[in-house]
Structure 1
């Protein structure tokens, strides 16, 4: 298709996305840069800079990534459109990355890092059920502690805070444990976790979080075990999967 319509900007983007999905980053970069030299339209250049930003960031080229992001911000007619393009590109590349990792794992790759990367990418895409099923099938290929962290993250994303806290409390103090415990109503565990984190370092915001947990603990005691009604907003992407 590209050979038949070499002037087509849409075909160039499709081919570049195909290269990215198949791990041919160098070919994708070459094609996008060639298209950038040829294109004059503001919208076309914006989409190219956004792709080159994401590609450069993924390859660890911070200077190039910063350049393309700055150019994209300059070309965007308004901030909302710019953020929308960045979001769309980020999602597309996450999906292509997940597909590439899924294929590698299903071919029998034994690298734990590939499996973990696939699971975390699926979680970033909101595909929690698929990630959970894959982890159940291949749990023996991952260190038990890392498997517990992944299961806890899945529980957090599903709103099962009690299960997340149960999984995390054996792994040592963490922000995630403090959050899960507080949302599950176990303010004592949340407070102990934050106290340990405060003693261990000067991470910003810890003392504020601890003060909030102390306050919530007092409120819970005054309410005699009754729980306050808490509303939550759950984000979803285009396919309707929860974030």
Structure 2
């Protein structure tokens, strides 16, 4: 593999290549969009395997991956803009399957995250799972789209089964995602006038979370008042909302 210096940059010595973390001089002009910084020994564009570093960084390219790696594209995907005549059709077909695999993994992760949001509705648990799951699922969708775009640029068109699978996965994620967002919105604290009879549990940072009364809880609101100082003697604690307070008793 060798570095392909952009023509607008100063000429580099023979055999020179940037080291990990190297940054070009800010005064150098930008190369044309889609410039291929790395070439294989045969002169073909090297595959991008890591989109988290600049394209000129040697960590951005490498050999095909032998196994799926979470957070990275799968396998040797032809780079966007490569000449279709220089790409083996078998590699295109394999890249299509791998792009579909990344998308399927994204669907699975997204649905697990959204499903945990539905399960956790009305309680204080599950936030890390659904937040991380849904966000990581979106990252995988983005990577699958990048891989698919690269495959299309070299003549790949995909199969009818693949298109149906992608459409079905997208619809499932959309439906479950909307339901999860609705559940999260419904899990907001009660408004004034709805505190009496609600149940609460201790959370982190000296905060309280409202929880279902038919499950484990630490406190229950016995009366709602406009001034916390007027809570009954048997209620040493209170939960505060704008313009109202709920007097709590331990349960």
TM class, shorter-length: under 0.3
Based on CA coordinates, which of the two structures has the bigger radius of gyration?
A: 2
Instruction: Specify which structure has the bigger relative contact order, considering alpha-carbon pairs within 8 angstroms and separated by 6 or more residues.
Output: 2
Q: Structure 2 length normalisation: TM-score?
A: 0.23
Q: TM-score, normalised by structure 1?
A: 0.23
